[in-house]
Chain A
Amino acid sequence: AQSVTQPDIHITVSEGASLELRCNYSYGATPYLFWYVQSPGQGLQLLLKYFSGDTLVQGIKGFEAEFKRSQSSFNLRKPSVHWSDAAEYFCAVGGKNTGNQFYFGTGTSLTVIP
């Protein structure tokens, strides 16, 4: 069965520090992978996606993620965090083998301290 694990429920970083949010997935084939961000009271906004090709993908707001098949991971990174990045981040997997649905992780809440 497909599943997504985000092992960190909550992360706190200082403004200007680097960030890495972890995501591991279970999937029987090459997945479609996504990172979404949710600000309080808002819907989810797509940060970036991976379908195939280059395993390092660039997204909006200075985020990037790297697909590592051997580790079944798709970690999100940002070199320098801004206070406005404080939000909830969700990793998701989709694809032809997911029965027409996306599977989401439980989310990582990011706090940014001045």
Chain B
Amino acid sequence: DAGITQSPRHKVTETGTPVTLRCHQTENHRYMYWYRQDPGHGLRLIHYSYGVKDTDKGEVSDGYSVSRSKTEDFLLTLESATSSQTSVYFCAISVGGPNTEAFFGQGTRLTVV
């Protein structure tokens, strides 16, 4: 599993509240990604990081922000949660360079009510 831990694994939150999801890796890989998975859409990239304090937007970044102050941690924040952000969120790391091989965490199931 390449030492990837996501927390929390499950969360229910109310509309309008901020939420932060954490991805922690133990192997100091440079490239980290946040995806959301929704039925019929596969996995869609939210944000990614290519180093400490180096991040960029993905396909579905609106309403999300990220931070990476340490190599091992990549945080995803929903500034003001909406029901459309109910999803399963996966963190991934890329081993051996960008887009070469991704290993995924176990996912976080987020429900916004």
Residues of A within 8 A of B (CB): 4, 32, 34, 36, 41-46, 49, 51, 90, 92, 94-96, 98, 100-102, 104-107
Is B42 touching A43 in the complex (CB atoms < 8 A)?
no
Is A104 touching B99 in the complex (CB atoms < 8 A)?
no
Question: Within the assembled complex, what's the spacing in Å between the Cα atoms of A44 and B106?
Answer: 8
Question: Within the assembled complex, what's the spacing in Å between the Cα atoms of A94 and B103?
Answer: 13
Q: Which of B40, B42, B102 contacts A34 (CB 8 A)?
A: B102
Chain B residues with CB below 8 A from A101, complex form: 33, 45, 48, 58-59, 99
Q: Which of B33, B45, B90, B99 contacts A43 (CB 8 A)?
A: B90
Is B90 touching A98 in the complex (CB atoms < 8 A)?
no
Chain A residues with CB below 8 A from B84, complex form: none
Within 8 A of A (CB), among B13-40: 31, 33, 35, 40
Is B100 touching A94 in the complex (CB atoms < 8 A)?
yes
Question: Within the assembled complex, what's the spacing in Å between the Cα atoms of A95 and B96?
Answer: 12
Question: Within the assembled complex, what's the spacing in Å between the Cα atoms of A107 and B105?
Answer: 18
Q: Which of A34, A44, A92, A106 contacts B41 (CB 8 A)?
A: A106
Is B102 touching A43 in the complex (CB atoms < 8 A)?
no
Residues of B within 8 A of A (CB): 1, 31, 33, 35, 40-45, 48, 50, 56, 58-59, 90, 92, 98-107
Q: A51-B100, A100-B98 are in contact. Are A42 and B45 (CB under 8 A)?
A: no
B96 nearest CB neighbor, chain A only: A51
Question: Within the assembled complex, what's the spacing in Å between the Cα atoms of A88 and B99?
Answer: 21
**A–B pairs, 7, beta carbons within 8 Å:** A32-B100, A36-B104, A44-B43, A44-B92, A44-B102, A94-B102, A101-B58
Q: Which of A34, A44, A95, A105 contacts B90 (CB 8 A)?
A: A44
Q: A100-B56, A100-B99, A101-B33 are in contact. Are A43 and B105 (CB under 8 A)?
A: yes
Question: Within the assembled complex, what's the spacing in Å between the Cα atoms of A107 and B88?
Answer: 15
Given pairs A100-B31, A100-B50, A104-B44, 14 additional interface contacts (CB within 8 A): A41-B107, A43-B106, A44-B92, A45-B104, A90-B42, A94-B102, A96-B98, A100-B48, A101-B48, A102-B92, A104-B35, A104-B42, A104-B43, A105-B42
